[in-house]
Chains A and B, each alone.
Chain A
Amino acid sequence: MAFTDHSDLFAAVHENGINKTIGQLMLQRPSLFNYATLLFTQALSTQFCQPIAPPPGGGPLFTVESPLPVLGAPKPVGLDWCLQLSNVSIDLYPGHTLTLPPELDPIGFQQFALHLRACFGLACPSDLVVENLAAEMEAAVAESVLRAAEPPAPPPPTTSPPVSGGGVQPALAARAVGGTNAPTVPSVNVLCSCLDVFGVGHFERGTVAGVRGQFLKTRLDDLEVVDLVTDPPSNLESMLECYLKVVLRLGVLPRLIVPMQSLVLNITQMLQANSTSIGQHVTVVPATDVPNNPDVEDDQIKVFFNLKVQ
């Protein structure tokens, strides 16, 4: 059977190719897979949950994020943390490359499975450090309490513009603008916890409400976090899975929809851009008379296109 039995053009990428590409991406752009606070560039550089190999072409090891805020602290202060994604791999129908948890195994026709390991590290300060900082916090509270007890100062002679974020407590406002430079509680010990996450999804074509044209959508069918076991059993795993599913379905996957129109390759326009004009309209369009396009099978993602000359 020929590859082009049902279309003019055919392209396929094997799951091995996808996984090797992800491997290259993780090696050359580690900052896409590693997130941490600024202190991980200095004192905590050896405290990552998993060591990060320097990319061969240079560039940052991780994306700098804001510290994890200490809720309720009278002065803005945070904890250092890191989140590292590793072992990212894809398994396309019929599967068997990934060892899926029983809840997801086996994947169905046209489905793909995704695995990643997420390691979260929290820089946990020692009791002594916390005690010292607690004294600072008490002092800050005492100062503000005493200031509140004093008679109110007369209003300033000139009116100042309203402060952005009115109604927000000063401490919280300061924390909100603290960004990556907010002070953190010093610590030298990073506690790590890793979880294996598996997901199963599929591609589908369909419309989007209120928008003309067809879209290619990535759908999440199920998700499983492995080895998050509590004794006695609790809803912690289910809650985490629920949260991740909602984040993926509402936060990530809607951003990945692709208008089918953008998959049309306008050859005439491309030639015009290269100063060659032709009297015909030549386009490469996704084939619509194949049952699945893209087609997830034989451990490959296959796409079918037709050449149209008008």
Chain B
Amino acid sequence: MMADLTIAVSEAVFAKTLEVVVANFAFNVSGKADYGAFNVAYDGRLFLKGGSLDLRDDGTIRLHELDARWDKLDFSLGVKLPKLSFGGGVVEVPLWSILLPGAGLFSGSPTVTFTVHLAALVKHELSLIGSPLIQHFEPGVTPIGKHCQDLHTALKIDDTKPQWRVFCDPQTIDFDLFDFADTAGDLFEQAFTVALDATLPHGLLHDLILAGIGSVADLLRTLLDIPDDVSEWLSDLFNVSLGVFNLILQFVADFFGKCLSFYQLDDPFPMFPKTKEETVELPAVTIPIQNLTATVNDVELVVTADIGGVS
């Protein structure tokens, strides 16, 4: 029996969407705190790079190796130097006394600031596998849980009307706080490129060697990333996130994934809004939505639904 409504989204749309997100995402962070004797500050700008989205036959969507890089990530530590005094005072010598001038340092309590540029060293990578989870929410009937309810209240999520809610159910997460493979690969590539630029003028030979350096750097990245790839593969195989950090992330993502829906559809769905024609008020026309499903295969995401008939 064919569904009343069918919507299909191809894998290409997911890939293009990820490209747009990666190209346009940027996150600026900055802040400072003063602790009297010293102060700390940070200033950074995060952007995304690479990554791929695959639809899979087991009904899951895989985000693979999405890199997060820092354009700038500066940490500053400022130390306020105390005033220091040297010497000075009255020196008694026979017959008279001599007043020696004293010397003072840091009389204005200057601050010495050390800044560490970490952008080149800190690189992150995220891989996750998730699947769409659909729930029909009935106010007062569908259990939410106290913590989730508190979060809904804080975020002003309306839990008073029936809705279809679509969640992203995370299966496994692999987040590398420090992407060692890419960090080493980038440093290698940068160092050798600088050395090459200094020793060889630009030309065919220069370009050939540069391409070679890029290939070696890629190989290095791949080799160093093997342990992480194995870890991701095992995670996928056993459907569990490996590593304490990833387990904690999995726990947090499970909570948010099943508490905060990324798409809501009112049921019944208001098809024509309430209108007023001259003096006559026409109420909204609503359509009951039934049997909403979302399935994933290796080609597309298919959403189906039925429309409720007049009983």
Residues of A that sit less than 8 Å from B by CB: 2-4, 7-14, 16-17, 20-21, 23-29, 31, 55, 57-60, 278-280, 282, 298-300, 307, 309
Contacts and interface: CB of A to CB of B under 8 A. Distances in A.
B44 to A, nearest CB: 21
B149 interface: no
A26 B12 CA distance: 40
B310 A24 contact: yes
B282 A2 contact: no
A21 B309 CA distance: 8
A10 B23 contact: no
A4 B24 contact: no
Given A20-B310, A24-B285, A57-B283, A8 B20 contact: no
A14 B3 contact: yes
Contact of B24 (A9, A28, A280, A299): A280
Contacts, number: 115
Given A11-B6, A13-B5, A28-B285, A279 B310 contact: no
Contacts of A280: 20, 23-24
Contact of B9 (A9, A26, A31, A279): A9
14 contacts: A2-B300, A9-B7, A9-B10, A10-B6, A10-B300, A24-B285, A24-B307, A24-B308, A24-B309, A28-B283, A31-B280, A60-B280, A300-B2, A309-B20
B272 interface: yes
Interface of B: 2-10, 12-13, 16-17, 19-20, 23-24, 271-272, 280-288, 297, 299-300, 302, 306-310
A59 B7 CA distance: 33
Chain A's interface: helix, strand, loop or mixed, by majority?
mixed
Tell which of B283, B285, B306 has the most Cβ of chain A within 10 Å.
B285
Nearest to A17: B4
B282 A16 contact: no
Contact of A282 (B20, B271, B285, B287): B20
B19 A2 contact: no
A24 B268 CA distance: 11
Contacts of B283: 28, 55, 57-59
Contact of A4 (B9, B17, B281, B310): B9
Contacts of B23: 278-280
B13 A8 contact: yes
A7 B8 CA distance: 10
B291 to A, nearest CB: 12
A221 to B, nearest CB: 25
Given A4-B12, A23-B310, 11 more contacts: A9-B9, A11-B6, A17-B4, A17-B5, A21-B271, A26-B310, A27-B310, A31-B280, A55-B283, A280-B24, A298-B2
Nearest to B306: A17
A3 B8 CA distance: 6
Contact of A31 (B3, B282, B288, B297): B282
Contacts of A25: 272, 285
A4 B299 contact: yes
A279 B24 CA distance: 7
